Every structure is written in structure tokens, then in C-alpha cells.
Amino acid sequence: MAQGGKIKALGLTSLKRAASAPDIPTVEESGVKGFEFVSWYGLWGPKNLTADVSAKLQADVANVLALPDMKLRLNVLGFDPIGSNGEQFATYIRDEMAKYEKIIKDAKIRVD
């Protein structure tokens, strides 16, 4: 809608501009330093998933994400596929949880 001129995009919440919308600045570029709020997706398996099955799934997903048609389709939809391994993804999740835990504590957000 922004590219079609129907709305004005104020900024992307990722740290870098989107390939599908390079003219839209990030919130950080607009003056809010370090601002990042992105959606992410991943695959989980059972706790007892063997290393060889996990590695095969990771390799297959990485191969699909690397396909030019898939990359283009995901970019058009606003996604920037990464395709990390299990350890990288676990680290990312831990970092995200710590970031949002701090935000929740600092803002004194609680469930009633």
C-alpha cells in the first residue's frame, strides 16, 4: 500500500531497509537509535530429535530458502529469510527473550 501511494510508511522496525521497499527508512534512521522489532519464524522438533534428522531438516530448509523464486516471493512479502542453524536460532531466541524481559520489567508490565 505504501509503494502504491495509498498510505505513507513512516519507518520499518527492522535495523535495515527491506529489499522490497528500499525507499522506506528504518525507525532508527528516523532518529530512534537501536529500535528493532521484527517478526521471526522457525522450526521446532521434539526434544529427542536426532542430530542427523535435525541437520537434514536444516539443510533442506536452507536449500528451499536459497531458491531464487522463493527468495523473491518472500522479499515481495516483506520477509528477509536467514536460514540459521539450531545453535544460532537458540541464541537468537535467548537474546530476544532477554530483550523483551527487560522491556517488560522496565515498563512494569504485568498480567492481571
* CB count in 10 Å sphere of residue 82: 13
Give φ, ψ of 26 to 5 degrees. -85, 165
Q: What is the pLDDT of residue 86?
A: 83
Average pLDDT over residues 41-62: 92
Average pLDDT over residues 88-96: 92
- What's the chain's length in residues? 112
pTM of the model: 0.72
86 and 54 in contact (C-beta within 8 Å)?
yes
- What lies within 8 Å, CB to CB, of 3 at 6+ separation is 21
Average pLDDT over residues 14-43: 89
Q: What is the DSSP string of 41-107?
A: ------TT--HHHHHHHHHHHHHHHHSHHHHHHHHHTT-------HHHHHHHHHHHHHHHHHHHHHT
Q: What is the pLDDT of residue 82?
A: 80
For the chain, percent of residues with pLDDT exceeding 70: 100
Q: Is the pLDDT of residue 17 over 80?
A: yes
